[in-house]
Amino acid sequence: MSNLQNDLFLRAALGQTTERPPVWLMRQAGRILPQYRALRANFPDFKAFVKTPEAAAEATIQPVDELGVDAAIIFSDILVVPEAMGLDYEMIEAKGPRFPKVIEQAADVAALDAGAAAATRLDYVYAALRLTKSQLAGRVPLIGFAGAPWTIFAYMVEGGGSKTFSKARRMLYTDPELSHALLQKITDTTIAYLRGQVAAGADLLQIFDSWAGELPPAHYATFAVPYLRQICEAIPEVPKTVFAKGAWFALPELAELPCQVIGLDWNITPQYARQVVGTGKTLQGNFDPCALYAAPAQVRAEVQAMLEAFGPQRHIVNLGHGVYPDTPLDGVRAFVDAVRAYAFES
Amino acid sequence: MSNLQNDLFLRAALGQTTERPPVWLMRQAGRILPQYRALRANFPDFKAFVKTPEAAAEATIQPVDELGVDAAIIFSDILVVPEAMGLDYEMIEAKGPRFPKVIEQAADVAALDAGAAAATRLDYVYAALRLTKSQLAGRVPLIGFAGAPWTIFAYMVEGGGSKTFSKARRMLYTDPELSHALLQKITDTTIAYLRGQVAAGADLLQIFDSWAGELPPAHYATFAVPYLRQICEAIPEVPKTVFAKGAWFALPELAELPCQVIGLDWNITPQYARQVVGTGKTLQGNFDPCALYAAPAQVRAEVQAMLEAFGPQRHIVNLGHGVYPDTPLDGVRAFVDAVRAYAFES
């Protein structure tokens, strides 16, 4: 950490005292930036973009240059993991991902590659991380990431996004054994992948459990938390953030994971989260992405209110979800600038 | 109530002692039943189906005949309210509703009809209720319903379903005054509409806040709860159920509403809900609709576990969401039969 010019983000993650909370945005490398849209225009195919390390590095660094955020997150996609396991997907413009083939039975799971054998196919991500790390030259920390096993499972069984994820959720009831087998293969691959990211320079790892909120508490405890735990335990080298969107009910169990940061969506008040999580972890979040549509003065007032609600220390400012692509840049700037202008009382 | 052959549902709603919990399913009148699919085939247009009282009454009664549920819920749609206010919608097969015109500015809100003037356009629902009531002949209570003001607002501003409801949610930040004006017009119409439903024979009213979980707690307190309160206070004649899906964070405020029943989704454990709501209200729910895909023996075991978690009295069994259209009838039967075979310890 000593060679970082701005280590605010890592210090906050580790629970060290900071002068102000660090700030970054989920999906900060994306369509909100005109520079990103220009870069994106060079790639008719989203996946080709993700697989070009030079382009991924450029997209990763753009928000650092343009917004002054305190961390960069590698530009990639959580679905590179199922692809590396042998389940190909298409990214359909304005619609989202689609898997032509889905996991339905034991033979489908058996046919998947897993662990290091699968993770070696993700060399282009490691290359993007190394390039980004070099180009960042220590300005801010670099975040690596992966989808949580349950969320990746949901896509692999459902075949894409869904209002209900009823196909994926059905399998947890009708074939728990097969579900666990698939979750374990995803977990093994994710661990190998995240180790590769650390070797390539990631300073912190974030696990995105985007569909956590679809599960009943008992299923989340059975089919999600144990795999999150395996991942956190397997990679002690760097701090880890677990962001389980919608899983307010699992907060007591997430608080017990060997991770340093818990991500929060905007349904949870900071007071409630701190009460359940205790003071042993840093909280990350949880500004409503829709508040960024407001005028800058109102954004600043809402940021101020959020900062006061979280109170001093162990807080990394972020949104409660990825920034929406049509968010006005003025709102995003007001958000980042308001945090950067803030100072904890000493 | 004295002229009902089976008043278990109403007694449970009112907190009176029952021998077993009553059971019904959200969306029980629907595609899970072969009789419904046969009836539906007569109407190329879903809205024509909803507007034909004889067909709506038949769909309403089918699950009473076929499944033996303890309540009937009128077959209709929450979007008849915006339509009656002057905002027409289309129901697109397998996609959902779409509003060709949406609410964007003050003139759009001013142009809407509201209250009794709008609610008189819903005579076809009152006719369906009267016909159903007559044909039910006191077998089970009849539930009327409407969407909650925030959920109707979300459709009217967004123009249809949405992954984020960012257009609707943006208006709450950028124009709270206009938002309140629209919410009040929806509320006035809903009150007149629900009064009409009671006059036509509804024994209990359920308010569906399907998109409650999209809002941050402060917005739910400002833009949702006060309108739910107005509705509950305006209609003291019958018991009321408020089902705010995803709004676990608002449970303490929902517990203060003058309603008798709180609906729960499957994210909330019965223990947590009872602890927050206290013993003054009946809880309704919250079986995971995906559990109905399991084999009947497993469904029965899951029902047993849910019943034990809720404990005796003040519980109406339901799902945590509407039943999914492709749910096997055997699973639904196992669910209903397991509840009907249950007896509270005396």
Which of B163, B216, B294 lies at the smallest CB-CB distance from A174? B294
- ipTM for the predicted complex comes to 0.95
Q: Are strands A240-244 and A204-209 parallel, antiparallel or unpaired?
A: parallel
Helix (H) or strand (E) holding B178: helix B176-199
AA letter at A107:
A
The Cα–Cα gap between B230 and B248 comes to 21
- B152 in any annotated domain: yes
Contact across the interface for A267 and B246, Cβ inside 8 Å? yes
| Positions of B marked catalytic | 27, 31, 40, 77, 155
Geometric angle at alpha carbon B81, from B203 and B109, rounded to 5°: 140
Residues of B in contact with A32 (CB under 8 A): none
The enclosing domain of A248 has a CATH number of 3.20.20.210
pLDDT band at A2 (very low <50, low <70, confident <90, very high): low
Residues of B in contact with A248 (CB under 8 A): 248-249, 267
- B87 in any annotated domain: yes
pTM: 0.97
Low-confidence ranges of chain B (pLDDT < 50): 1
Contact across the interface for B267 and A216, Cβ inside 8 Å? yes
| Positions of A marked catalytic | 27, 31, 40, 77, 155
Helix (H) or strand (E) holding B35: helix B34-40
- B140 in any annotated domain: yes
Mean pLDDT of A79-84: 98
- A346 in any annotated domain: no
pLDDT band at A3 (very low <50, low <70, confident <90, very high): confident
Structure tokens at A307: 């900062």
Residues of A in contact with B175 (CB under 8 A): none
Contact across the interface for B249 and A272, Cβ inside 8 Å? yes
Residue A307, classed as helix, strand or coil, is: helix
- B339 in any annotated domain: no
Q: Which residues contact A36 (CB under 8 A, 6 or more apart)?
A: A29, A30, A59, A62
Does A325 have pLDDT greater than 80? yes
Task: Sort B121 into a burial class: Cβ within 10 Å, 0-12 / 13-18 / 19+.
Answer: middle
Contact in structure between A281 and A255 (CB atoms under 8 Å)? yes
Q: Give φ, ψ of B236 to 5 degrees.
A: -75, -10
Average pLDDT, chain A: 97
Contact across the interface for A213 and B170, Cβ inside 8 Å? no
| pLDDT for position B346 | 67
The Cα–Cα gap between B146 and B152 comes to 9
Residues of B in contact with A250 (CB under 8 A): none
Which pLDDT tens digit goes with each residue over A220-265? 999 999 999 999 999 999 999 999 999 999 999 999 999 999 999 9
CB burial of A294-316 (b: ≥16 within 10 Å; e: otherwise) equals: bebebbbebbeebbeebeeebbb
Q: Which residues contact A134 (CB under 8 A, 6 or more apart)?
A: none
Contact across the interface for A169 and B290, Cβ inside 8 Å? yes
- B228 in any annotated domain: yes
Contact across the interface for A293 and B166, Cβ inside 8 Å? yes
pLDDT band at A95 (very low <50, low <70, confident <90, very high): confident
Higher pLDDT, A3 or B43: B43
Q: Which residues contact B259 (CB under 8 A, 6 or more apart)?
A: B207, B228, B232, B239, B240, B241, B242, B281
Contact in structure between B323 and B293 (CB atoms under 8 Å)? no
Residue B3: cis peptide before it, omega within 30 degrees of 0 = no
Q: Which domain holds residue B268?
A: 30-284
- For helices A149-158 and A166-174, the axis angle rounded to 10 degrees is 110
Q: Which residues contact A234 (CB under 8 A, 6 or more apart)?
A: A191, A194, A195
| pLDDT for position A346 | 67
| pLDDT for position B64 | 98
Which of A267, A291, A321 lies at the smallest CB-CB distance from B217? A267
Helix (H) or strand (E) holding A338: helix A329-340
- B9 in any annotated domain: no
The Cα–Cα gap between B107 and B228 comes to 25
Does A12 have pLDDT greater than 90? yes
Q: Which residue of chain B has the CA closest to A170?
A: B290
The Cα–Cα gap between A343 and A308 comes to 11
Give a three-class secondary structure readout of B154-171.
HHHHHCECCCCCHHHHHH
Report chain A residues touching chain B, CB-CB < 8 A: 161, 163-164, 166, 169-170, 172-174, 213, 215-217, 219, 246, 248-249, 266-269, 272, 288-291, 293-295, 298, 320-321, 324, 326
Strand partners, A96: A92
- B215 in any annotated domain: yes
Give a three-class secondary structure readout of B187-208.
HHHHHHHHHHHHHCCCCEEEEE
Count of all residues that appear for chain A in the document: 346
Q: Residue B160: left (phi > 0), alpha (psi -120 to 50), or beta?
A: left
| pLDDT for position B307 | 98
Structure tokens at A30: 């994306």
What's the number of domains chain A is made of? Answer: 1
Mean pLDDT of A165-182: 98
Number of A–B residue contacts, CB under 8 Å: 82
CB burial of A43-72 (b: ≥16 within 10 Å; e: otherwise) equals: eeeebebbbbbebbbbbbbbbbebbebbbb
Identify which of B286, B296, B290, B299 has the alpha carbon closest to the alpha carbon of residue B326: B290
| pLDDT for position A218 | 97
Q: Which residue of chain B has the CA closest to A294?
A: B174
